[in-house]
Each structure stands twice: as C-alpha cells, then as structure tokens.
Amino acid sequence: MKSLSVLLVAISAMQASAAAIGVGAALPLPRCAAQTLLGVGPEHREAADDRLENEPDREPAEEAVEHAKASEKRLHRLAMETLPPIGWRTLKARRALLLGSRACGSLKSAARDADATLDWLDATFGALRTVPYTRAPILRIFETPDALSAYEPAGGTDLAELEQLACMSPDLPELFPLTVNGELLSYWLDEHCPDLMLGLPGELNLGLRSWVMQSRFRGRGVTPAPEDIFVDSAKASIQQGEALDLRAALTVTRIPAVSPTLDAEDPIVPGALGFLLIDHFLAPRSKASDEVRGTFFRFLLAIRNGQAEAEASAGATGPFPTTGEDLQAEQQRVTTAAFEATFGVMDEKTWASFEQRFRKEYRLR
C-alpha cells in the first residue's frame, strides 16, 4: 500500500510540474501571461476556448449558462462522433459523459464515482465559482495505463476542453477513482478559477491533488485518504532536523522537488506536509477549528481575487512580466499577499492554537 501511495504522490507532483517555467521551477504560466508569450493577442481570441466567453464580466449569467451548455453539447457530440466503432461503449452520467473501453469493465460504478466527486467539489469549493454552470466533462476510460498513453484524440484539440483520461479494469475497479479524481479536481477549478492551482503554495498544490486523488466520495460526503505514510514522512523530516514550518508551507509557491527514481522504502514522501494540511482543513473528522477552516477558504478566495486583480492591471503599472522569473515573482507576490490578508492576521494565540492542534492531530512533536 505504501508503494502505491508513494507512486500516486509522485504522479501528482509530476503532473503539477509538467508545465514548469525554467529549470527547477514549478509554476505553469498564468493564462494571461501564456497568451502574451504564445502570441495569442486580441486578433486570435475568437478562436480561443469557449470558457473565455463564459466569464461573468463578459455577459449576463443567463447568457453565460446558455453558451456553456451549447459548448458542452457540441463537444459531447464531437466525442461521440469520433468514438471508434468497435470496442467502446458510452454512459451518460448525471454529471459526466463516460466513454469506456469494453475491456475496462462496467461503467456504472465509474459513473457513480464521477458524479460523487463532482458533487463534493461543488459543495466544498462552491464559494470559488466565477461562472454559474459547470460543463459535464468527457471521461475517456482505458483498460491499462499503456492504452491511455497510446491515445491520440481523433477530434483534434477541441476535445481537450472537456476530456479527462482515466484507467479502470475489471480486476481493479478502484483504479478509476485513483486516476480520475485528481483530474476532476483540476477540471472543476479550470472551469471556475483557471489560475488558482498556480497560486497555491507548492505544498498545498501537491497535497490537494494527492488528497483528492486518494479520497473516496459519496454524495457530498468523503472518506479521507489514508494518512499514515504522510505522517511518517513528516516525522522523518523532523528527525532529520527539518523544522515543521507551517508558515512556509502556506506561502512558498514552489512545488517540492520529486526524485526521478523513487524508492518505496524511503520514508520521505513529496508534499507530505501539504497533504496533512489539506487533510486538516478538509477532512470531516479533522480536529481543525471552524476558524481555521474558514481562514483556509478565505485564503483561496484571496488568491483567486489577487490573481484577477493582477490580470486586470497587467501592464498598467509597469512592464508586463514575460520571463519565467518575473512570472514566478508575480505569483509569489499574490500568494504572499493572500496569506497576509488571511492567516497573517491571526494573533499569536490563534496561530499557536492552530499549530498545536495540527501537531497533536498527526502526532508530530
């Protein structure tokens, strides 16, 4: 079990770092900056994805819902039209369209898992919504990781807006939530606040993906991911002389480094502290105070709002950041300001209580 969990954490880390800027960096380009660097100026925006049309400041909410539903219908139809004629089946779930290889087993349990995860995301992160409708994703499910890796979309790049890839087999049905939960998290956030994951502190970025990937959802309820290997990792780090620095874990945007050769016996797991913080904030059996939970969500809102303000004022107060270093510095500025406006206003007694509860819950001394 430990080796599987370590592997999943590593996958999360590598996914989070896939679009890294520069050597050793871990922040993908913010949407506005990526458009600048890639030459996507005003004359190209008519060809951009439908999400740009759905932003609340572009049109009334009712029209945004209409456009989002039309986009969803068009892309679902494209996915069905380009589905191979043999070897695949489909299932329209309440919250998603599932396209599954016939070798991967029944799609009914996968549909329940997908619906439940999206319901939980709505219930947990609803305050972050910036559009009034979440398009139903297209979940393409393969029987093996090799089959997934070999996939080349027949519908071109359009399907990338909604399509998420996952694995499932008759002998290992639990593989589906393990491979799709993290993708649904990223998808939900991309629909509502596309740059939020870029602004999360690196530990939280990796920890949130890993926690959601390994948790199990039913309706709006959640069975949290097992915490043992992450507690062991945090203890091992402390024993090796590394301070348990919660302030740094809540401010530093760089994602923890991941070794290209993982040792399942190594007690140190990338992003372990971030995983435990997310567990402390979100798990229903957590001993976190209501004040700390509320502060966490205010922190996320502050990051989202800070990013929106930075994007709106880009270029107005000075040169627009175009290098990896400048973009990282700008994102770090937003994240630090969000921390100072939320966790940073805690008095010493409240912060000490937060740290004490956290250490006690995970038996960290």
Under a CB-based contact definition with an 8 Å cutoff, are residues 121 and 193 in contact?
Answer: no
3-class DSSP state of 166: strand
d(CA 83, CA 193): 30
State the pTM of this model: 0.81
pLDDT of 146 > 60? The answer is: yes
Question: Span 245-250, mean pLDDT?
Answer: 96
* Rounded average pLDDT over 143-169: 88
Alpha-carbon distance of 183 to 165, in angstroms, equals 8
Residue bearing tokens 């919660």: 246
As given in the structure block, the two tokens for residue 37 are 């660097």
Q: How far apart are CA 104 and CA 88, in angstroms?
A: 9
Residue 267 pLDDT: 81
Higher pLDDT, 177 or 26: 177
Tell me the pLDDT tens digit for each residue of 289-305. 999 999 999 999 999 99
Residue 212: closest CA among 239, 188, 194: 188
φ and ψ at 166, to 5 degrees? -150, 170
Banded pLDDT at 246 (limits 50, 70, 90): very high
C-alpha pair distances (Å), 318 with each of 30, 236, 288, 306, 330: 18, 45, 42, 17, 12
CA angle 172, 175, 179 (to 5 degrees): 165
Number of other residues whose CB lies within 10 A of the CB of residue 248: 13
CATH topology for the 44-192 domain: Glutaredoxin (3.40.30)
Residue 170 is predicted with a pLDDT of 84
Apex 69 CA angle, 63 and 73, nearest 5: 145
State the pLDDT at residue 129: 86
SS3 state at 261: coil
**At 264, is the pLDDT very low, low, confident or very high (cuts 50, 70, 90)?**
low
Do the Cβ atoms of 320 and 212 come closer than 8 Å?
Answer: no
Q: How many CB atoms lie within 10 A of CB 288?
A: 20
| CATH 3.40.30 residue ranges for the chain | 44-192
Cα dist from 187 to 121, 122, 297, whole Å: 10, 12, 19
pLDDT tens digits for range 75-86: 999 999 999 889
